[in-house]
Amino acid sequence: MSFLIDSSIMITSQILFFGFGWLFFMRQLFKDYEIRQYVVQVIFSVTFAFSCTMFELIIFEILGVLNSSSRYFHWKMNLCVILLILVFMVPFYIGYFIVSNIRLLHKQRLLFSCLLWLTFMYFFWKLGDPFPILSPKHGILSIEQLISRVGVIGVTLMALLSGFGAVNCPYTYMSYFLRNVTDTDILALERRLLQTMDMIISKKKRMAMARRTMFQKGEVHNKPSGFWGMIKSVTTSAPGSETSLSLCAKWITPWDKTIP
């Protein structure tokens, strides 16, 4: 009795997920296309429904909802259906759709679709040779063999897509975070640069005038040389040097405060 109740809950959720996938496909993915492929809609909706059901079973496993035996049964059934769609149905229909668009192969499209599917299966199976996937415990077309190869392809594709998205997304949306520079901003910065250059030139002129005043008073020419002369010049300075330095500091300090 509990198994029937659990099965009814899972079937109801799958129907709801199938309807949501159908509406999402019609309203979002193919809303701008006039040609409708109902087989594509059915395959997308079924895949979406079983994928959401597996995610639902994971949540039920964490929360302890439903019986453990029914959860295991529905998990294995969903896994088999998804592998059947991904490995057999979707590649075959893609090959059939490609062959149908070629007029020369239109009469024998079923045969060439089977050939394309066999080619896909060959490369799909040879993909697992470099990896330690083969095991004598499992058969050739077992769930373990198929899901291991699907996992290798899925992880590789997800890594490529995530790397592309990590590079493309900042490159695409970086312009939204940048400040627009107008001609007025450029002219304002040029004026500030000219003002700063004028300040530097005026400071150099004032420093040259202060040195000239010090030379005229004999503070530089009469400066003693040697080690003892340096010590003497530090301890005993000329009476006019302090006033010259104070004047230089008074001239320079107000201009320093105006620099942005």
- pLDDT by residue (tens digit) across 20-47? 988 888 888 777 665 567 888 888 899 9
Q: Which of 95-99, 102-106, 119-123, 141-145 has the lowest mean pLDDT?
A: 141-145
pLDDT in tens, 5-18: 888 988 999 999 99
Asked if the model's pLDDT at residue 244 lies above 60, the reply is no
Which residue in the block uniquely carries the two structure tokens 């192969």?
105
For the segment 232-246, the average pLDDT, to the nearest whole number, is: 48
Length of the chain: 260
pLDDT score for 145: 77
Q: What is the 3-state secondary structure (H, E, C) of 196-210?
A: HHHHHHHHHHHHHHH
Asked if the model's pLDDT at residue 178 lies above 80, the reply is no
Cα separation, 112 vs 94, in Å, equals: 12
Residue 29's H or E segment, with its range, is: none
pLDDT score for 231: 54
pLDDT score for 229: 54
Residue 43: count other Cβ atoms within 10 Å of its Cβ. Answer: 16
pLDDT band, very low/low/confident/very high, at 141 (cuts 50, 70, 90): low
pLDDT band, very low/low/confident/very high, at 122 (cuts 50, 70, 90): confident
pLDDT score for 139: 60
Cα separation, 251 vs 19, in Å, equals: 82
pTM reported for the whole predicted model: 0.57
pLDDT band, very low/low/confident/very high, at 241 (cuts 50, 70, 90): very low
Q: What's the helix, strand, coil split of the chain in %, to 5?
A: 75, 0, 25
Cα separation, 17 vs 78, in Å, equals: 13
pLDDT score for 2: 80
Angle between helices 38-63 and 68-83 (to 10 degrees): 150
> Residue ranges per domain, the chain?
1-130
pLDDT in tens, 79-97: 888 888 888 888 888 888 8
Largest Cα separation within the chain, whole Å, is 115
Those residues with Cβ within 8 angstroms of residue 184's Cβ, 6 or more apart along the chain or in another chain = none
Which residue in the block uniquely carries the two structure tokens 């899925």?
154
DSSP code string of 59-122:
HHHHHT-S-HHHHHHHHHHHHHHHHIIIIIIHHHHHHHHHHHT-STTSTTHHHHHHHHHHHHHH
Of the two residues 207 and 236, the one the predictor is more confident about is 207
Please give the C-alpha separations between residue 102 and each of 65, 111, 114, 178, in angstroms, as whole numbers.
51, 13, 15, 49
Cα separation, 100 vs 110, in Å, equals: 9
